[in-house]
């Protein structure tokens, strides 16, 4: 295997409202960048190939699988992770609803679901059950069977009004 | 210890407080196995066999060792060679040498993905590149990938030195690790007298628990030969025990700190990476973290056994079961233990069967070594039994619930392994099913869309193991209680354990703060599995809370200088029975108590509890042209004993049903003839998404168990048992054909429809 | 994974220069939902990845008098969130809406799906039945090829050294044209097609003046089922006539058996999906 000289790259990006410069290899994913370089581990790795949604983040207003985005692509962009959802005033209504509705069991998929659901409610304040299920189909949960997750999202949508 | 369930209006039990670890989990603060970072940490990676069955002729790690950024390399030569002492580990048992060899192969690889070597490097990419440089010379052998191949006359043998136990006889050169038999009565007689005898054989492929979090193992091996381990596991003490054996170190040299765990369902009971990280840490004097990829998880962790189950049932002219026979053959994977005793216990568990005979075979095959998967072996045998029962009902025109009620297992019914049932709730579940909105609703058998609908019902069972748990309580100066326990929390159990202590103490659930602690900080606690946690650790919490009250009374007696039997405690207040001036809140007694702080400790080693039964109803809609099957209505009914936190009990019922539905419709290990799993990703190992399931209705029946003061029964495992047969029966109802293989995927449906024509 | 460099050129020519320099050691990055998985899975060894999303032509959605021009890296969601695209080209939107889930659709593009050239790709059949033209740029200049010539084998496309796909030109049709794409998957989302069909129909005086049927996942590349398509031209779209097309499509299909499907099931599905997509296309065309 021929050696390919690859240098680290500086990336200027905004994560959960905080602007920062980070130094990363150009070939690492945004997921790895967040977890290992920025040091926030709320976003999880479930499969590393875009099939489970555990790594979902919000990139410039759209939810993406961060395992399939390069860290360098964060340049000049706004990224929101689960860590950015609560504020000093309290939890986001979705987070509160997830707790009240017991929409998590082991909790590993929860950050991905929260980020995905927030993107839905930000644009569609009153989604039907079908729409919620369709929107969340890219997020796998093995513990809950999705019932309580769907109910929590519906509850949060009503509370946000 | 109280032996009869307390029956009163509970203050905390049955409420739905927010779980104590919830805030950390919805904010991303909770630390799971892969989240740990230690100063100077190196990343471990492993080399895995590309072959399902091969001898290792040599391993050359020299090039990997020379790589820049690689700090250490290891092979099985770096692990002590162990003997064959059988050890029990709650839901896991087996030989020590097999335990070690599954972690890292010594002379033979027995499944694709079997670990052969490990490296520790400065970062993940370097570690992966180093692994690629490890050269292994294999002599490839023929694999056996299912029970038929493994049991055939000239089958390739996995363990040349292993003695199989066939009905007590030791047998060499066999892939049948064990053959057990249970019988009672006279089945030949029973079948002869029978009015109708139905026999069916089901053939099921391996499935995976599918937890979203891959396995991890982080370790520090220090200068004193003490090892610290951080891992996501269902049993910190099981990890400590297993690692002590694999590394030949005393248990007290090992401290296991459980991280939060991202799902287990039984699959996180065995160890995989922990000893590897430990040895690499020993060699580098640095912390080492090793993580599995998703493919590794499928290839090389512990899936649930596939296999074949044949069930034969004979009934009399009144519809009473006279005799039943089962032949159960389950794939243990590379090393023995396919849960065949559990299979035997469960196969006829829902019925009163006067004569039965069960032959069960534990068969090794060239697949990863099976681990428990939520009621291990019960779904497999239920598929066979519930299909036969459904067929009997079809042929005779019996109502499926009435037939089950007529033959129902209840208190006093003799079980397959001998003991009689104590108080159980199957009858109540069946009656609730009959009375449910779902069962009473119309099916709409010819919907406009041109698709066909069908309804199926099935029952299932899982017992609850007991075993050991320990809990410590400490009364804080503000009157709230700290609870420490060792049951890792995969589904909200720390809340239900805290709630049981809170109930005893008569204080709100949020005033008991539970922590899941490491193996140095709590007494021995067996795995979170076998549906034992709320039952056994809850019972320990219950006892510890009573002891805390004793302490409170004792110290109040000292403080007031009166005798103990003049003092009573309830609902956070301790007071004199005779002098109304003498009373204190918990906060007040906690303020400088005479003789020392108020603490208590309790441990239990419980016998098996009453067991849980589940009855599920499934409505399907099937497109006959394509075989596409959708679940349009689903109800899970279960005897939960006493729902400590009803939301989490419902969650277990829904989650188990979802896994069973995936198992029934789409999940399988799609194997090549060479024993390679071709669909080792979430793309092609098809678990249900939110768009694939309807709302899962839950009906909780509470028939308290006799073995726990609140009547708790384990609830986690029964719900995965009925879905596969309920769906098979629904397909039969819709299309008039029976599928006897899982998954009941679209191509099998269209094929079967063609054959029918 | 072999370490690679990252480039984000802002013009077509810059991109050509980089791609030409690295040859087969460089690949374009649009949504990344195929290429990053493959790079990690060691399908190939890259020295460079060329992010084409900063080139304006690559992410545009432009209506001209004769075409809708979709940049090769335009994400799927842009298409299905545009009401005019949904109205005029529902068949294309069918595909865009089916590739992966919401997260994938935020990034994945029809152009990327096409260049990835998987036999079971979700975009390619729709593009074929819409007679889409590929605009390609390379060291020797730009060229155009019909989309059905793009896939040359499983995972192989017609691009040569230094070339990359710039945009897709979708010809505008009259109002009696429409199309539909349907794929069969065992779950309801997130699966690769077991079999899939796109059909387009153009009507004239109650008869079919043009019909195109394309099949996915039943051959080494997506198949333009010309012989089947021709059976309906000039005819009335009766059930019997449609059935002739679907039976012929089933004949043309040459699937293999793999972990996603059996040969028999795939052939059956082709017949069913051809029928259903023609019926849907007719319904959309107002027939």
Q: Is residue B331 part of a domain?
A: no
Residue A2 banded pLDDT, cuts 50, 70, 90:
low
Spatial neighbors of B100 by CB under 8 A, at least 6 apart, are B76, B79, B80, B81, B82, B106, B245, B246, B275
Go through chain A and tell me how many residues it has: 161
Cβ distance B28 to A83 less than 8 Å, yes or no, reads yes
Q: Which of B233-242 are b and which e, b meaning 16 or more Cβ less than 10 Å from the residue's Cβ? A: bbbbbbbbbb
Residues 6+ away with beta carbon under 8 Å from B679: B668, B669, B670, B685, C259
Give per-residue pLDDT as tens, C104-124.
999 999 999 999 999 999 999
User: If we measure between CA atoms, which residue out of B383, B158, B128, B641 comes closest to residue C41?
Assistant: B128
Q: Give the Cβ contact number of residue B753 at 10 Å.
A: 17
Q: Do β-strands C195-204 and C207-216 pair in parallel, antiparallel, or remain unpaired?
A: antiparallel
Eight-state DSSP code of residue B157: P
The residues of chain B scoring below 70 in pLDDT are: 1-7, 83-94, 445-446
Half-sphere exposure of B501 (CA within 13 A, CB side): 36
B658: contact with A, CB 8 A cutoff: yes
pLDDT at B702: 96
Cβ-defined contact of A53 to C2 (cutoff 8 Å): no
Is residue B480 one of the residues assigned to a domain? yes
* Total number of domains in chain B: 1
Cβ distance of A135 and C3 shorter than 8 Å? no
Chains contacting B (3 or more CB pairs within 8 Å): A, C
Q: Which helix (H) or strand (E) holds A11?
A: strand A9-15
Helix pair B493-505, B646-665: axis angle to 10 deg: 150
pLDDT per residue over B98-135, tens digit each?
999 999 999 999 999 999 999 999 999 999 999 999 99
C-alpha distance from C56 to closest chain B C-alpha (Å): 33
- Evaluate the omega torsion of the peptide bond into residue B506 and state whether it is cis, within 30 degrees of 0: no
B326-351 pLDDT, tens digit each: 999 999 999 999 999 999 999 999 99
Give the pLDDT score at B91.
40
Nearby residues of A48 by Cβ (< 8 Å), 6 or more positions away: A29, A31, A55, A67, B293, B294, C40
Query: Cβ separation of B626 and C268 shorter than 8 Å?
Result: yes
Give me the mean pLDDT over the A73-85 stretch: 98
In a domain, B190, yes or no: no
Restricting to C residues 189-208, those with a Cβ less than 8 Å away from any Cβ of B are: 189-192, 194
> Does the beta-carbon distance from B746 to C184 stay under 8 Å?
yes
Interface touch C265/B625, C-beta < 8 Å: no
pLDDT in tens, B417-471: 999 999 999 999 999 999 999 999 999 766 777 799 999 999 999 998 999 999 9
Mapped onto helix, strand or coil, the DSSP state of residue C208 is strand
Distance from CA of C227 to the nearest CA of B (A): 24
For residue B695, the chain A residues in CB contact (below 8 A) are 129, 147, 150
ipTM > 0.90? yes
**Domains of chain A with CATH codes:** 9-83 (3.10.20.30), 93-159 (1.10.150.120)
d(CA C142, nearest CA chain B) in Å: 37
- B213 touches A at CB < 8 Å: yes
Contact B32 A44 (CB under 8 A): yes
Judged by a CB distance cut-off of 8 A, whether residue C64 touches chain B is no
Residue B75, domain member (yes or no): no
- Rounded Cα distance between A149 and B538, Å, is 27
3-state secondary structure of B60: strand
Residue from the list A49, A99, A141 with its beta carbon closest to the beta carbon of B26: A99
So where are chain C's domains?
Answer: 5-48+57-171, 177-285
Q: Which residues in B lie closer than 8 A to residue A144 (C-beta atoms)? A: 651, 654-655, 658
Indicate yes or no: CB of A106 within 8 angstroms of CB of B265: no
- Residues of C contacting chain A (CB within 8 angstroms): 1-6, 8, 29, 31-33, 36-37, 39-41, 45, 47, 49, 51, 77, 100-104, 106-107, 188-190
What tens digit of pLDDT does each residue of C132-162 get? 999 999 999 999 999 999 999 999 999 999 9
Residue B554 belongs to a domain: yes
Nearest CA in chain A to C39: A27
Interchain proximity B690–A139, CB inside 8 Å: yes
Strands (E) across chain C are located at: 5-7, 26-29, 48-51, 61-63, 67-71, 133-138, 141-146, 151-153, 156-157, 164-171, 177-184, 195-204, 207-216, 223-224
Mind telling me how many Å the CA of B128 is from chain C's nearest CA?
7
For chain A, list the contacting chains (3+ Cβ pairs, <8 Å): B, C
Instruction: Give C47's contacts in chain A (Cβ within 8 Å).
Output: 4
CA distance B463 to chain C (A): 32
Any idea what the CATH number is for the domain that residue B599 is in? 3.30.365.10
Q: Does C5 touch chain B (CB under 8 A)?
A: no
Topology annotation, domain C5-48+57-171? 3.30.465
Contact B658 A149 (CB under 8 A): no
Number of CB pairs, chain A paired with chain B, less than 8 A apart: 179
For an interface test with B, give the residue of A83, A102, A131 to mutate (most B CBs within 10 A).
Answer: A102
Pick the CATH number of C177-285 from 3.30.390.50, 3.50.50.60, 3.30.465.10, 1.10.630.10: 3.30.390.50
pLDDT digit string (tens) for B518-572?
Answer: 999 999 999 998 889 999 999 999 999 999 999 999 999 999 999 999 999 999 9
Residues in chain A with CB shorter than 8 Å from the CB of B26 are 82, 86, 91, 95, 98-99, 104, 107, 110, 114
Distance from CA of B335 to the nearest CA of A (A): 27
Distance of alpha carbon C270 from alpha carbon C275, whole angstroms = 8
Q: Are B27 and A102 within 8 A, CB to CB?
A: no
Contact between chains at A48 and B293 (C-beta distance less than 8 A): yes
Interface test with A, best of B20, B25, B127, B258 (most A CBs within 10 A): B25
A138/chain C closest Cα distance in angstroms: 5
CA distances from A19 to A44, A58, A79, B206, C169 (A): 22, 15, 10, 48, 39
Contacts across the B-C interface (CB distance below 8 Å):
56
Q: Quick count: other Cβ atoms within 10 Å of Cβ B321?
A: 23
Question: Taking CA atoms, what residue in B is nearest to C41?
Answer: B295
Residues B5/B710, Cβ–Cβ less than 8 Å: yes
B19 neighbourhood in chain A, CB within 8 Å = 99, 102
- Do the chains contact at B746 and C190, CB–CB below 8 Å? no
Return the pLDDT at A4.
Answer: 67
Q: Which of C1, C33, C47 sits opposite A68 (nearest CB)?
A: C33
Note whether C256 contacts B: Cβ–Cβ < 8 A.
Answer: no
Q: Edge-to-edge strand order for the sheet containing B573-576?
A: B567-570, B573-576, B583-585
pLDDT at B628 (0 to 100): 97
Domain membership flag for residue B565:
yes
Instruction: Tell me the nearest-neighbour CA distance from B498 into chain C, angstroms.
Output: 38
Same fold, C5-48+57-171 and C177-285: no
**pTM as predicted:** 0.97
Give B279 to chain C, closest Cα distance, Å. 25
By Cβ distance, the residue of B665, B691, B750 closest to C189 is B691
Note whether B263 contacts A142, CB cutoff 8 Å. Answer: yes
């Amino acid at each position: 295997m021929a050696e390919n000289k690859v240098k680290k790259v500086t990336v200027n990006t905004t994560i959960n409202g905080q602007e920062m410069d980070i130094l990363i290899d150009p070939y690492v994913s945004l997921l790895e960048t967040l977890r290992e370089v920025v040091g926030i581990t709320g976003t999880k790795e479930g499969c590393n190939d875009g099939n489970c949604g555990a790594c979902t983040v919000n990139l410039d207003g759209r939810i993406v699988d961060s395992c399939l985005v390069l860290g360098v692509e964060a340049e000049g962009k706004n990224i929101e992770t689960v860590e950015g959802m609560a504020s000093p005033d309290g939890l986001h209504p979705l987070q509160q609803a997830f707790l009240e509705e017991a929409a998590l069991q082991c909790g590993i998929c929860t950050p991905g679901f929260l980020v995905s659901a927030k993107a839905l409610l930000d644009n569609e304040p009153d989604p039907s059950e079908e729409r919620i299920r369709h929107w969340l189909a890219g997020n796998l949960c093995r513990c809950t069977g999705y019932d309580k997750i769907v109910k929590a999202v519906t509850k949060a949508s009503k509370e946000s009004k | 210890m109280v032996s009869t369930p307390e029956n009163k209006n509970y203050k905390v039990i049955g409420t739905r407080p927010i779980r104590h670890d919830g805030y950390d989990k919805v904010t991303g603060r909770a630390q799971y196995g892969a989240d740990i970072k230690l100063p100077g940490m190196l990343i471990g990676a492993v080399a895995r066999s590309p072959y399902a069955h091969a001898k290792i002729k040599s391993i050359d790690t020299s090039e990997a060792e020379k790589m820049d950024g690689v700090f250490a390399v290891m092979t099985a030569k770096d692990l002590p060679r162990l003997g064959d002492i059988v050890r029990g580990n709650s839901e896991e048992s087996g030989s020590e040498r097999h335990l070690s060899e599954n972690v890292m192969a010594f002379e033979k690889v027995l499944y694709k993905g079997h670990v052969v070597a490990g490296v520790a490097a400065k970062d993940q990419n370097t570690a992966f590149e180093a692994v690629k440089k490890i050269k292994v010379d294999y002599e490839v052998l023929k694999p056996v990938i299912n029970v038929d191949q493994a049991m055939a006359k000239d089958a390739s043998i996995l363990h040349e030195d292993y003695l199989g136990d066939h009905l007590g006889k030791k047998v060499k050169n066999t892939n049948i690790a064990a053959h057990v038999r249970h019988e009672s009565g006279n089945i030949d007689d029973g079948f002869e007298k029978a009015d109708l005898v139905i026999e069916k054989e089901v053939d099921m492929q391996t499935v995976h628990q599918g937890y979203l979090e891959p396995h991890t193992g982080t370790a520090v091996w220090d200068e004193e030969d003490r090892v610290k381990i951080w891992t996501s596991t269902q049993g910190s003490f099981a990890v400590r025990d297993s690692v002590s054996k694999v590394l030949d170190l005393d248990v007290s040299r090992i401290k296991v700190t459980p991280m939060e765990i991202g799902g287990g369902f039984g699959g996180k009971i065995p160890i995989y990476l922990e000893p590897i990280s430990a040895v690499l840490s020993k060699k580098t004097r640095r912390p080492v973290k090793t993580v599995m990829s998703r493919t590794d998880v499928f290839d090389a962790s512990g899936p649930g056994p596939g296999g074949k189950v044949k069930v034969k049932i004979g009934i009399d002219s009144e519809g009473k079961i006279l005799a039943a026979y089962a032949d159960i053959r389950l794939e243990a994977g590379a090393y023995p233990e396919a849960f065949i005793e559990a299979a035997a216990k469960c196969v006829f568990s829902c019925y009163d069967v006067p004569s039965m005979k069960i032959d069960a075979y534990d068969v090794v095959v060239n697949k990863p070594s099976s681990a428990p998967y939520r009621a291990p072996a019960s779904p497999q045998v239920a598929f066979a039994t519930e299909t036969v029962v459904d067929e009997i009902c079809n042929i005779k025109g019996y109502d499926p619930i009435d037939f089950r009620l007529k033959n129902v297992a209840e208190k006093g019914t003799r079980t397959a392994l001998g003991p009689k049932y104590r108080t159980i709730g199957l009858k109540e579940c069946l009656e609730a099913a009959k009375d449910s909105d779902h069962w009473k609703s119309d099916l709409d058998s010819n919907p406009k869309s041109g698709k066909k609908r069908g309804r199926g019902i099935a029952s299932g069972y899982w017992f609850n193991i007991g075993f050991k748990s320990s809990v410590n309580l400490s009364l804080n100066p503000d009157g709230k209680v700290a609870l420490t326990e060792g049951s890792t929390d995969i589904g909200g159990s720390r809340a239900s354990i805290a709630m049981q202590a809170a109930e005893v103490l008569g204080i709100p659930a949020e005033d008991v703060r539970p922590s899941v602690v490491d193996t140095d900080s709590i007494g021995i606690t067996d795995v979170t599995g076998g549906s034992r946690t709320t039952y056994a650790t809850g019972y320990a919490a219950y006892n510890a809370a009573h002891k805390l009250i004793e302490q409170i009374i004792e110290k109040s007696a000292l403080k007031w200088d009166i005798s103990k039997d003049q003092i009573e405690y309830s609902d956070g207040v301790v007071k004199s029975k005779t002098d109304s001036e003498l009373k204190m809140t918990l906060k007040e007694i906690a303020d400088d108590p005479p003789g020392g702080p108020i603490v208590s400790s309790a441990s239990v080693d419980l016998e098996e509890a009453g067991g849980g039964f589940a009855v599920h109803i499934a409505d399907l809609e099937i497109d006959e042209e394509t075989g596409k099957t959708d679940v349009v209505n689903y109800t899970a009914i279960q005897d939960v004993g006493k729902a400590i936190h009803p939301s989490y009990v419902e969650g277990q019922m829904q989650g188990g049903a979802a896994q069973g539905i995936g198992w029934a419709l789409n999940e399988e290990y799609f194997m090549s003839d060479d024993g390679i799993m071709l669909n080792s990703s979430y793309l092609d190992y098809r678990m249900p998404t939110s768009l694939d399931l309807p709302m899962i209705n839950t009906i909780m029946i509470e028939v308290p168990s006799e073995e726990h003061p609140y009547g708790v029964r384990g609830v986690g495992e029964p719900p995965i048992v009925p879905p596969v047969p309920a769906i098979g029966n629904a397909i039969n109802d819709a299309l008039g054909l029976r599928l006897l293989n899982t998954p009941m995927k679209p191509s099998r449906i269209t094929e079967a429809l063609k054959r029918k024509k | 994974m072999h370490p690679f460099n990252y480039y984000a050129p802002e013009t077509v020519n810059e991109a050509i220069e980089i791609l030409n320099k690295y040859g087969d050691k460089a690949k374009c990055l649009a949504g990344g939902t195929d290429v990053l998985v493959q790079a990690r899975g060691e399908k190939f060894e890259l020295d460079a990845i060329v992010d084409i999303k900063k080139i304006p032509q690559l992410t545009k959605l432009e209506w001209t008098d004769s075409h809708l021009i979709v940049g090769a890296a335009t994400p799927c969601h842009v298409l299905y969130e545009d009401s005019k695209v949904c109205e005029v080209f529902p068949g294309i939107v069918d595909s865009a809406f089916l590739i992966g889930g919401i997260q994938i659709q935020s990034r994945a593009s029809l152009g990327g799906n096409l260049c990835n050239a998987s036999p079971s790709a979700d975009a390619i059949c729709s593009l074929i039945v819409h007679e889409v033209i590929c605009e390609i740029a390379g060291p020797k200049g730009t060229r155009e090829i019909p989309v059905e010539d793009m896939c040359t084998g499983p995972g192989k496309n017609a691009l040569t050294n230094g070339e990359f796909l710039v945009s897709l030109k979708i010809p505008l049709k009259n109002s009696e044209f429409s199309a539909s794409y349907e794929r069969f998957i065992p779950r309801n989302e997130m699966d690769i097609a077991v079999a899939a069909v796109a059909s387009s129909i153009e009507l004239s005086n109650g008869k079919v003046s043009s019909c195109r049927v394309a099949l996915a996942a039943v051959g080494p590349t997506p198949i333009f089922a010309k012989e089947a398509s021709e059976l309906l031209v000039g005819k009335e779209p009766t059930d019997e006539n449609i059935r002739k097309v679907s039976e012929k499509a089933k004949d043309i299909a040459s699937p293999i058996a793999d972990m996603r499907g059996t040969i028999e099931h795939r052939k059956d599905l082709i017949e069913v999906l051809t029928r259903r997509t023609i019926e849907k296309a007719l319904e959309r065309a107002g027939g």
